[in-house]
Structure 1
Amino acid sequence: MFLKGDVCVVTGACGFLGRRLIRLLLEEENLGEIRLVDKQIKLEDVQSFNDCRGDTRVQAYEGDIRDSAFLRRACRGASTVFHVAALIDVTGSVEFSELYGVNVKGTQLLMEVCIEENVPSLIYTSTIEVMGPNRGDPIHNGTEETVYECSLKSPYRRTKKEAEERTLQANGELLPDGTRLATCALRPMYIYGEGCRFLLGHMADGVRNKNVLHRMSSQEAKVNPVYVGNVAVAHLQAARCLKDPNKRDIIGGRFYFISDDTPPASYSDFNHVMMSPLGFHIKDKLPLPLGLLYVLCFLIEVTCTLLRPFIRLVPPLNRQLLTMLNTHFTFSYNRAQVDLGYVPRYTWQEARKGTVEWLAGKLPALREKLET
């Protein structure tokens, strides 16, 4: 057990990935203490880990990541911080100041606190969206060496990119005790699995549409989603490597793409793969030709901008989201395999089975809610 007796901090602990990572840490590492950091933590959130906590102390730290005094309390005496917390926004519904405050300023504060409190290791959960995509500019099986200049102006992408850059630049910072901070960033593909709110939202849309899923991405625009359990494994492997003196300098200051063996598919077709066992179908074609959809999105965006002084409207689809949904964008996890020793623990069959069963369990209540 590489992290035996350590104190680990997980920000965004009550989120989709945070919960899965905490459970993995408790099951695989005999930690001294694990600290759940989130803006709101219920008693049942802590109690949900009772079956796997063993002798590890599980502590809840409820507060704002933009509060440095709160972060100092949460990080004092810690050996590893997993920074999973972030505001995710693909439609532009969150004000930029809020996104920047949480995703960038919160990350910067956390790093400063890690330095002040002699925390030696920080792992940052980034996203594939820091790479792009650009319209009409696909990537097939990209790697960490792939040169790609992203032109996307998405506020979410910008804030995650800046936060990642600041995290990696902090690698090697001198700590008060004479040691140095080591950081790395993981860039997962689209994460799916039990608890994925995006899959649940698409299923709700399908129920409203009489069990027919909307198609918003062409079949040719393939991506390679990654199962949440495998993303958690990658985080654990990164923590183990940062603690290993022989590997710490190799991965410190670097980013890694995290995918697995989930078959590449477009976002829409992937939703159908997950929901077809539950009786859902999918439309064969986009609702309009792609070029016309871009024009329509542009007109809607202009209208929303003109109305902004009077009312704030957020369309469910914009040109940047349409680009993401309709650009082939796949990446290899080979570098993570070589440097981190990352190997997907869950097969595609296991990941799909678990996800479908979770969706099936949610479907009856969802139908009842939407049909009443």
Structure 2
Amino acid sequence: MGRRVCVRDSGREGGTVSSFWPFISAPAIRAGTQNVLQACKDLGVRYLVYTSSMEVVGPNMNGDHFIRGDEDTPYNICPEGPYACSKAEAEQLVLRANGMKVAGGMTLHTCALRPTGIYGEGNPVMENMYHQLVKFGRRRLRLARKEVEHGRVYVGNVAWMHLLAARGLQARPGLVGGEAYFCYDDSPYLSYEEFDMHFLGDSGFRMVGMGQAPLPFFALYLLALLSQWACRILRPLLGFQNFLNVYTLRMITSTFTVSTDKAGRHFGYSPIVSWAESRDRTRAWVRQLGAAPPQRE
């Protein structure tokens, strides 16, 4: 029999990770998936599970909300920025490769998983945010209105869905092959800021901002634009790293939630780690960050 491999893309996802990506070469990001597909062809690999992202769908730069949507919900998809664009292009490459002939006369079967914002132990975005917020007196500025909601998913459930998808792809290639699936669990729908306070609040952090939002959107937009350009100028000189740019602001202030059972119907997915356990594990990890020195990128 030909080799059977479950491969995960190396792109980082979770929370507002997009704020790190405007300075990465887009061609360098794309090359990895092309290399993986070529390796599948040369080595006779028969099964490939690609870690995509919810960002291949949205939120888009128009600020359109995606509320309790599924894989077939109509939406104005227009990915922006190197991360989202590279993920969208790579997902299409992988899904189009479904049915491709590989070495040994075998057939490659592929599918893609689209995690919502990933959280959990070891998340580099949250770790960096933790140390940045410590410098600001453990205060976090509220950017999104309270009614804005996002889907989040615990890292352990993301890994579990990958395992089940790999099994399903082998058992039912005609059904799972060529398909994309949102990757989700039972975590509550809240804004990024409100959700993160489930973990940060336990370590003495607090949200600041008056009313539903501290500033009108146009003021936040100008702040994000200024931060984005300051980062472009200062990063090469001082290693300056911002957590807010125009793209990230749209991510934070636009609702994106999913309601779907496609993964459950196609390969039996349901979360293996409950919200309570996911929350407690992440809280314990965040508390440990206070005893460890910040890690340099």
TM-score between both structures, scaled by the size of structure 2: 0.87
Give the 3 Å change call, closer, same or farther, for CA 348–240 of structure 1 in structure 2. Answer: same
- Single out whichever of 172-181 and 235-244 deviates more from structure 2: 172-181
SS at match of 2:174: helix
Q: Which residue number corresponds to residue 124 of structure 1?
A: 50
Letter in 2 for 1:107: T
| Higher relative contact order structure (alpha carbons within 8 Å, sequence separation ≥ 6) | 2
Deviations 1:118-171 (A, max 9, x none): 110000001111111123310111100012222342111111100010000000
Equivalent-residue separation in structure 2 for 1:174 and 1:326 (angstroms): 44
Aligned 1:289-368 pairs, distance under 5 A: 289-298=216-225, 316-366=243-293
- Select which of 61, 66, 69 maps to 1:139: 66
- Select which of 177, 180, 183 maps to 2:107: 180
Is 2:205 aligned against 1:277? no
- Single out whichever of 252-261 and 150-159 deviates more from structure 2: 150-159
SS at match of 1:82: coil
Equivalent-residue separation in structure 2 for 1:357 and 1:168 (angstroms): 38
Q: Alpha-carbon deviation of 1:179? A: 2.1
Q: Alpha-carbon deviation of 1:87? A: 5.7
Equivalent-residue separation in structure 2 for 1:237 and 1:154 (angstroms): 31
- Select which of 95, 101, 104 maps to 1:168: 95
Q: Which residue number corresponds to residue 227 of structure 1?
A: 154
Equivalent-residue separation in structure 1 for 2:286 and 2:272 (angstroms): 21
Is 2:18 aligned against 1:90? yes
Give the 3 Å change call, closer, same or farther, for CA 221–355 of structure 1 in structure 2. Answer: same
Equivalent-residue separation in structure 2 for 1:149 and 1:236 (angstroms): 31
List runs of 5+ in structure 1 lacking aligned partners.
Answer: 1-5, 7-76
Query: Aligned residues: percent identity?
Result: 34
Give the 3 Å change call, closer, same or farther, for CA 78–330 of structure 1 in structure 2. Answer: same
Is 2:151 aligned against 1:151? no
- Select which of 265, 281, 287 maps to 2:190: 265
Q: Alpha-carbon deviation of 1:203? A: 2.1
List runs of 5+ in structure 2 lacking aligned partners.
Answer: none
Letter in 2 for 1:163: A
SS at match of 1:275: helix
Equivalent-residue separation in structure 1 for 2:140 and 2:229 (angstroms): 28
Tell me the matched-pair count: 287
Q: Which residue number corresponds to residue 70 of structure 1?
A: none
Equivalent-residue separation in structure 1 for 2:231 and 2:205 (angstroms): 33
Deviations 1:227-268 (A, max 9, x none): 000000000001111121xx1110100100011000101001
Q: Alpha-carbon deviation of 1:302? A: 6.7
Give the 3 Å change call, closer, same or farther, for CA 301–362 of structure 1 in structure 2. Answer: closer
Contact 1:152 1:320 in 2 (8 A): no
Q: Which residue number corresponds to residue 71 of structure 1?
A: none
Contact 1:213 1:283 in 2 (8 A): yes
Aligned 1:38-57 pairs, distance under 5 A: none
Deviations 1:180-218 (A, max 9, x none): 100000000111111112222222233222232232322
Contact 1:170 1:181 in 2 (8 A): yes
Equivalent-residue separation in structure 1 for 2:218 and 2:269 (angstroms): 40
Contact 1:123 1:184 in 2 (8 A): yes
Equivalent-residue separation in structure 1 for 2:143 and 2:67 (angstroms): 20
What is the aligned-residue RMSD (CA, Å)? 2.6
Deviations 1:293-324 (A, max 9, x none): 1134345657888x79x989875422111000
Contact 1:206 1:214 in 2 (8 A): no
Q: Alpha-carbon deviation of 1:358? A: 1.0
Equivalent-residue separation in structure 2 for 1:87 and 1:226 (angstroms): 14
Give the 3 Å change call, closer, same or farther, for CA 279–345 of structure 1 in structure 2. Answer: same
Contact 2:57 2:79 in 1 (8 A): no
Give the 3 Å change call, closer, same or farther, for CA 272–303 of structure 1 in structure 2. Answer: closer
Equivalent-residue separation in structure 2 for 1:254 and 1:223 (angstroms): 23
- Single out whichever of 146-155 and 175-184 deviates more from structure 2: 146-155
Equivalent-residue separation in structure 2 for 1:354 and 1:327 (angstroms): 28
